[in-house]
Amino acid sequence: VCGWSEVSVCGWGEGSVCGWGEGSVCGWGEGSVCGWGEGSGSVCGWGEGSVCEGSVCGWGEGSVCGWGEGSVCGWGEGSVCGWGEGSVCGWGEVCGWGEGSVCGWGEGSVCGWGEGSVCAWGKGSVCGWGQT
């Protein structure tokens, strides 16, 4: 189950869980955790037991988070994000979370955050961010 609301849950790896609400936690790999709540100072891990050291993981204007070597990510207007070496993705004007939005998460992966959207988080992974 992949949801973006309170008490929602989503898996991005072995035994990982993810919530997009107050006091939520998220795993993007083995042992990784991440907070997507209204509170600031949340930590995020995208890999085996990894955490964004020195970086901030926020989903709003001016937020920053590291998703790989030297990657930076913001979830607001004009935001930019990297999911790996040299990868870039915008979560605002560039790449949106609505109808027709597109984003890559890995080799040849494509993702939409709207009605009937699908997303790949690795080999053969699929996830929809719209209709449940």
In 3-state terms, what secondary structure has residue 26?
Answer: strand
| Residue 107 maps to a domain | yes
* Residue 111 three-state SS: strand
How many other C-beta atoms can be found within 10 angstroms of the C-beta atom of residue 56?
17
Residue 43 lies in a domain: no
Given this model, what pLDDT does residue 34 score? 55
pLDDT at 26: 54
- Examine residue 125 and state whether it is found in any structural domain, yes or no: yes
Below-70 pLDDT ranges, the chain: 1-132
Domain housing 109: 97-132
35 occurs within a structural domain: no
* Total domain count, the chain: 1
DSSP string, 37-71: SSSSS--B--STT---TT----SSTT-----STT-
Residue 70 confidence (pLDDT): 42
Domain assignment present for 50: no
